[in-house]
Structure 1
Amino acid sequence: MVKAAYVHIPFCEHICHYCDFNKVFLKNQPVDNYITSLLLEMERMMESHPTSALKTVYIGGGTPTALTPNQLNTLLKGMREVLPLTEVEEFTIEVNPDSIEEEKLRVLKDHGINRLSMGVQTFKENLLKEIGRTHSRESVVDAIARSREAGFENISLDLMFGLPSQKPRDFQETILEAMALGVEHLSAYSLKVEEKTVFYIRQRQGKLTLPPEEDEIIMYEQLLAETKKAGYHQYEISNFAKTGYESKHNLVYWDNQEYYGFGAGAHGYVNQVRYQNHGPLPKYLRAIAADVAPVLTEHQVTPIERIEEAMFMGLRKRVGVNRTEFNRIYGRSLEECFGEQIERLQKRGLLQSDEYGIKLTEEGLLLSNEVFEQFIAVLES
Structure 2
Amino acid sequence: MTINHNAAKGAYIHIPFCDHICYYCDFNKVFMKNQPVDDYLDALSTEMNSYRANGLPETLYIGGGTPTALNEGQFERMFSDIDRYLMNPRVREFTVEANPESLTEEKLNIMKRHGVTRLSIGVQTFDDKLLQSIGRAHNASDAEYAVRLAQKHGFHNITLDLMFALPGQTEASLHESLDRALSLGTPHISIYSLQLEPKTIFFNRMKSGKLKLPGEDIEADMYGQIIFALEKYGLNQYEISNFSKPGYEGVHNSLYWQNEEYYGIGAGAHGYVNGVRYANAGPVKKYIERVHSVGHSRMSEHTVTSTEKMEEEMFLGLRLLKGVSVARFEEKFGKTIEQVYGAQINQLKEEGLLTERDGRILMTRKGVFLGNNVFEAFLIS
TM-score normalised by length of structure 1: 0.97
Instruction: Tell me, in whole angstroms, the C-alpha distance in 2 between the residues paired with 1:234 and 1:367.
Output: 16
1:202-217 to 2 correspondences below 5 Å:
202-217=205-220
Unaligned 5+ runs, structure 1:
none
Q: Sequence identity of aligned pairs in percent?
A: 48
Instruction: Tell me, in whole angstroms, the C-alpha distance in 1 between the residues paired with 2:108 and 2:174.
Output: 29
1:254 aligns with 2:257: yes
Task: Quote the offset at 1:308 in angstroms.
Answer: 0.2
Task: Quote the offset at 1:109 in angstroms.
Answer: 0.6
> Counterpart of 1:13?
19
Instruction: Tell me, in whole angstroms, the C-alpha distance in 1 between the residues paired with 2:127 and 2:87.
Output: 42
Instruction: Tell me, in whole angstroms, the C-alpha distance in 2 between the residues paired with 1:298 and 1:45.
Output: 17
> Counterpart of 1:274?
277
Q: Is the 8 A contact 1:266 1:277 kept in 2?
A: yes
Q: Is the 8 A contact 2:68 2:103 kept in 1?
A: yes
CA deviation profile, 1:22-72 (whole Å, cap 9, x unmatched) = 00000111111111110101111334xx01x32110000000000111111
SS in 1 for 2:294: coil
Task: Quote the offset at 1:264 in angstroms.
Answer: 0.2
> Counterpart of 2:246?
243
SS in 2 for 1:178: helix
Task: Quote the offset at 1:84 in angstroms.
Answer: 4.1
Compared CA separation, residues 84 and 133, structure 1 to 2 (3 A): closer
> Counterpart of 1:321?
324
1:232 aligns with 2:235: yes
Q: Give the aligned residue type for 1:6.
A: Y
> Counterpart of 1:101?
104
Q: Is the 8 A contact 2:47 2:295 kept in 1?
A: no
Q: Is the 8 A contact 2:128 2:140 kept in 1?
A: yes
> Counterpart of 1:92?
95
1:68-87 to 2 correspondences below 5 Å:
68-87=71-90
SS in 2 for 1:290: helix
Range that drifts further, 283-292 or 265-274: 283-292
TM-score normalised by length of structure 2: 0.97
SS in 1 for 2:62: strand
Instruction: Tell me, in whole angstroms, the C-alpha distance in 1 between the residues paired with 2:102 and 2:357.
Output: 47
CA deviation profile, 1:70-114 (whole Å, cap 9, x unmatched) = 111111011111124211111000000000111111011100011
> Counterpart of 2:355?
352
Unaligned 5+ runs, structure 2:
1-6
Task: Say what the alpha-carbon RMSD is for the aligned residues.
Answer: 1.0
Instruction: Tell me, in whole angstroms, the C-alpha distance in 1 between the residues paired with 2:71 and 2:348.
Output: 51
Q: Is the 8 A contact 1:54 1:87 kept in 2?
A: no
1:42 aligns with 2:48: yes
Task: Quote the offset at 1:354 in angstroms.
Answer: 2.4
1:112 aligns with 2:105: no
Displacement over 6 Å in runs of 4+: none
SS in 1 for 2:348: helix
Q: Give the aligned residue type for 1:212.
A: G
Instruction: Tell me, in whole angstroms, the C-alpha distance in 2 between the residues paired with 1:345 and 1:11.
Output: 43
Task: Quote the offset at 1:231 in angstroms.
Answer: 0.5
Instruction: Tell me, in whole angstroms, the C-alpha distance in 2 between the residues paired with 1:88 and 1:109.
Output: 14
Compared CA separation, residues 124 and 84, structure 1 to 2 (3 A): closer
Q: Give the aligned residue type for 1:230.
A: Y
CA deviation profile, 1:278-317 (whole Å, cap 9, x unmatched) = 0001110110121342112111100000000000000000
Instruction: Tell me, in whole angstroms, the C-alpha distance in 2 between the residues paired with 1:46 and 1:102.
Output: 31
Instruction: Tell me, in whole angstroms, the C-alpha distance in 2 between the residues paired with 1:183 and 1:197.
Output: 30
Task: Quote the offset at 1:145 in angstroms.
Answer: 1.1
1:154 aligns with 2:167: no
Q: Is the 8 A contact 1:172 1:219 kept in 2?
A: no
1:123-134 to 2 correspondences below 5 Å:
123-134=126-137
SS in 1 for 2:185: coil
Q: Is the 8 A contact 1:167 1:215 kept in 2?
A: no
> Counterpart of 1:335?
338
Compared CA separation, residues 46 and 165, structure 1 to 2 (3 A): same
Q: Give the aligned residue type for 1:27.
A: K
Task: Quote the offset at 1:363 in angstroms.
Answer: 0.4
